[in-house]
Structure 1
Amino acid sequence: MKVLNKDELQIAEGVLQKHFPKSYKTYGFIYGINRNKPTTLEVVVDTWPDFKVIICRPNLKNKRAALFTNKVSYYSMDDRALEKMLKEGDAFLWSTNFCVGGLDTAHLPMLKEASSHRKVTYRAYTLVHLLYLPDPNHLLMPSIDSELESRISCLNLSHVELVNKTWKFGGNEKSYNIIENLISNFLTCCIMNDKGEPVSWILLYDYCAMGILYTLPEHRHKGYAKVLIGTMAKKLYAEGYPLYCYIEEDNTVSYKLFKSMGFFEDVNYRAAWYEFNV
C-alpha cells in the first residue's frame, strides 16, 4: 500500500477519468485536492503506478479531521485486489468509526464479510442513483427571464445556519462545519428574494457532486430548482468540474427532475452509503 504524493495524485486523476461514471466520487475528491481545496483526506493505492484499488480516507494526522465525519471513498478495478485490501492491513482504518459513501452495492457482500471478520458493526444509510451529464450539450436548460436572472447569486457564510437547519442530514455541529466548509471553498448557487435572502439553493460537495438542493416551501413550484441545476452545471463545466450527483432511491421528485434536464444513469449500477464501527 502506498500514500500518493502531489504529483502522483495528478496521475491518478487522469486514470480515474477513464472509468466514469463509477469512479466519479473518488475522482471528485482527488479533483478537489489537486486544485488546493482544503481536505482532511489522504489517498492510498494497492500498488503504484498500475493501481487496481484507490482509496480516499481520513488523514489521522490532520487536526481538522475531528470536525468532520470520517469519510471514505474508493474505486476498484479488480475485486480480488479490493478483497485483499479489505482483509489485510488497515487500508480502511477498521479501528475507527467511518462512513463509506458512494460504494458500489455489488461490493456489499465483500465489505460485510470483512467487517464481520474484524468484528466491526455496520449500518446502511441510504441507496442512491448516480446521475451524470457526460456532455453539457445534453443539458436541457430552462428559459430564464431578466428579473429571475438578476436574483441568481452565491451563498455566503451568513447563510450557513439556514442551509444547515433545512438539510436532511443537518441540524448538528458536524453538519454545520460541513456546510461552512462547502460554502467557503466550493461553488454554490442560489436565488434571492427582494430582501436579498436566499430562498432556493444548490451546493457542491467536497467530492464535487451537486447536492443539498433545497427550496423553501413557500417558494416552490416556480421552476427554481431547474434554474439552479442548469446554472450550476454551466459553471462547473466552464471550470472543468465533473457533472454528476447522487439521488436517494426514495427521492423520486429529484430523480425525475435531473432526468428531465438531460442527466444520464447507468441502470446496472447502484451506490450506497454505509457506516462502519458504529
Structure 2
Amino acid sequence: MEPHKILPAEYDILEQQMKNALPLSICAFVHFKLMRTRNLLERKNILVNSWPDPSVVVIVDNKDWGILPSAVTFCKGPEFVRSLKALIQLASKNVPSPILVVGCSTDVIDALVNLYECKASCPFKPAQENALVYTLPPKNISPPTIPDGFRVSELGERHIDPVKKSWRYAEEYEQFFSMDRWLRYHFSNFPTLCIETEEGLPVAWELQQDYGAIGMLHVVPEFRRKKLGSVVTMALAEKMNNEGQMVFACVNEKNETGKTFHETNGYIRLAFDLCFCSYFF
C-alpha cells in the first residue's frame, strides 16, 4: 500500500492504535502524546505504511529546525522493515543528514541493516550497544524527600554549559548540530528537574527527551553519597505522572550501574530491547 500521512482528524485513531501495540510501540506512543500535548505536532510529519491499521509508524521533523532530526518509530516486526526503510527515506527529503532513528527493537534494526549486502555502504548505522527499556509504574512513584540544604528547580539557560559538559555524547552530537540549541529546545518544551544548593549551585539533574524517555541523569561527583540521583528521578517521574505521561527510561545493556539504579528505584524491565540508529544520506 502507498504511504499515508496522518492528518489531525486521524490523531485519536493513531493514538489508540499505538496504545494497543504497547509495549513495543512505547517510544512512538509516548512521543506522539508528548508532542500533541505541547502543540508540537505541527513540527512533525507522521507517516504510516497503511491506514487505518499501520504496522509501521514514523514520526519525523517536517523541516530543518536546527537540531538533530529524529525519526521516532514503531515497527511491528522484522517482516515490515522494507516499509520502515521506505518511510524513513521519504521523511529524509525535508531534513539534513543524519536522522536519529529511535524506537525500533533490535531484531528490526538487524533486519533493516541486513537489507544491504555491503554493510560498509549501509546508510543505517546502529549504536554499538543496545538499550534495555524500563518503565516506572505509577504505583512505584512516591514523592521524594528533598535533603536539607537543597531545593528543587527546573533546567534553564544557565544550566546549558554544565549539562552539556556532563553528557557523554555531546562531542559526537556537536559534529553535526548545536548542542546548545538542542538543550534549549528540551528545556523550554519538556519536563526537567534540577536539584540545587541553597546558593543556587546545580548538583543533580535529569530531563525528559523528546522521544519520550527520561535520561541524561547526572549528579556532581562530590554529592553522590546523598542519593540525589534517586531524588531527581522520582521527582521528575512524579511531575510526568501528574501530567498523565507514561514514565520510561532506556539504559545501555552494559551499564550495570544504570540497571541496578533503575531497578532499585522501582523500574520494571520490559521484555524487549531497543537499538538506536543513525541514518546518513
Q: TM-score under structure 2 normalisation?
A: 0.86
Which of structure 1's runs of 4+ aligned residues deviate more than 4 A? 115-119
* Residues 37/222 of structure 1: CA separation in 2 closer, same or farther (3 Å cut): farther
Mapped to 2, the partners of 1:89 and 1:98 lie a distance apart of 9
Tell me the SS of whatever aligns to 1:221.
Answer: helix
Mapped to 2, the partners of 1:270 and 1:214 lie a distance apart of 23
Confirm or deny that 1:193 pairs with 2:194: no
* Residues 214/265 of structure 1: CA separation in 2 closer, same or farther (3 Å cut): same
Mapped to 2, the partners of 1:276 and 1:33 lie a distance apart of 22
> More deviation in 86-95 or 192-201?
86-95
What value does the CA root-mean-square deviation take over the aligned residues?
2.6
The Cα shift of 1:38 comes to 3.6
> More deviation in 108-117 or 248-257?
108-117
Q: Which residue of 2 aligns with 1:69?
A: 68
State whether residues 115 and 122 of structure 1, in contact with CA within 8 Å, keep that contact through their aligned partners in structure 2: no
Read off the aligned partner of 1:167 and give its amino acid letter: W
5+ long unaligned stretches in structure 2: none
* Residues 116/183 of structure 1: CA separation in 2 closer, same or farther (3 Å cut): farther
Tell me the SS of whatever aligns to 1:245.
Answer: strand
Tell me the SS of whatever aligns to 2:102.
Answer: strand
Number of equivalent positions: 270
Q: Which residue of 2 aligns with 1:158?
A: 158
The Cα shift of 1:93 comes to 3.5
* Residues 229/43 of structure 1: CA separation in 2 closer, same or farther (3 Å cut): same
* Residues 81/102 of structure 1: CA separation in 2 closer, same or farther (3 Å cut): closer
State whether residues 98 and 279 of structure 2, in contact with CA within 8 Å, keep that contact through their aligned partners in structure 1: yes
The Cα shift of 1:19 comes to 2.2
Identity rate of aligned residues, in percent?
Answer: 20
Q: Which residue of 1 aligns with 2:183?
A: 179
Tell me the SS of whatever aligns to 2:82.
Answer: helix
> More deviation in 6-15 or 186-195?
6-15
Partner residue of 1:54 out of 57, 62, 65: 57
Q: Which residue of 2 aligns with 1:100?
A: 101
> More deviation in 20-29 or 209-218?
20-29
Q: TM-score under structure 1 normalisation?
A: 0.86
Read off the aligned partner of 2:167 and give its amino acid letter: W
Q: Which residue of 2 aligns with 1:16?
A: 18
> More deviation in 38-47 or 89-98?
89-98
State whether residues 16 and 23 of structure 1, in contact with CA within 8 Å, keep that contact through their aligned partners in structure 2: yes
Tell me the SS of whatever aligns to 2:178.
Answer: helix
